[in-house]
C-alpha cells in the first residue's frame, strides 16, 4: 500500500523567510503533484512533476522530485502572507489503462506571519 508522508504538518514562518516542505512516499512512482487549499476552498493544482530530477517554479514556490529517494520538496522563498494555505503532495499510483489514482499526504498547514 502506497503511503505518502509530509512534514512538517504545521509550519509557522515569518514573512521574508525561506523554508522547505518535504514529501516522502513508500513505493515507486514517477508522477507527483502539489496542490494548494485555502480555508473553506477546493484544491488548486500547483505543480505536476513527471520524472526524476524534475523541477518546477512558480513565483516564490519551487518544487522538485527525486524518484530514487522517493522524495519531493516544495521550497518557499521569501514567504509572503498570501502563501498562507494548506499544501498537499499527491503521488500517482498509475495502473494499467492509464487511470490516475492519487494518494495524498496529510497536508502542511502554512501560516506566514507579518
Q: Which of 32, 79 has the CB closer to other proteins?
A: 32
CB distance 11 to 19 below 8 Å: yes
Residue 68 sits in the site that holds other proteins (CB under 8 A)? no
Residue 45 sits in the site that holds other proteins (CB under 8 A)? yes
* H helix runs in the chain, sequence order: none
In this structure, what C-alpha cell is assigned to residue 69? 529517494
Residue 50 sits in the site that holds other proteins (CB under 8 A)? yes
For other proteins, the binding residue among 5, 15, 38, 100 (CB under 8 A) is: 100
Place of cell 494548494: 36
Taking the complex as a whole, the smallest distance from the CB of residue 89 to other proteins amounts, in Å, to 11
Bridge partners, 108 (sequence order) = 87
For other proteins, the binding residue among 39, 68, 99, 114 (CB under 8 A) is: 99
Local structure of 51: helix, strand or coil: coil
Q: How many CB atoms lie within 10 A of CB 108?
A: 21
- List residues near other proteins by CB under 8 A: 33, 35, 41-45, 48, 50, 88, 95, 97-104, 106-107
Amino acid at each position: 500500500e502506497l503511503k505518502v508522508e509530509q512534514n512538517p504538518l504545521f509550519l509557522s514562518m515569518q514573512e521574508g523567510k525561506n523554508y522547505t516542505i518535504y514529501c516522502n512516499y513508500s513505493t515507486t512512482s514517477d508522477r507527483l503533484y502539489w496542490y494548494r487549499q485555502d480555508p473553506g476552498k477546493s484544491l488548486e493544482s500547483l505543480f505536476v512533476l513527471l520524472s526524476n530530477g524534475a523541477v518546477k517554479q512558480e513565483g516564490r514556490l519551487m518544487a522538485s522530485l527525486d524518484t530514487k529517494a522517493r522524495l519531493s520538496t516544495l521550497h518557499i522563498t521569501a514567504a509572503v502572507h498570501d502563501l498562507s494555505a494548506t499544501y498537499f503532495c499527491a503521488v500517482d499510483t498509475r495502473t494499467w489503462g492509464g487511470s490516475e489514482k492519487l494518494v495524498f499526504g496529510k497536508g502542511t498547514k502554512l501560516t506566514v506571519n507579518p
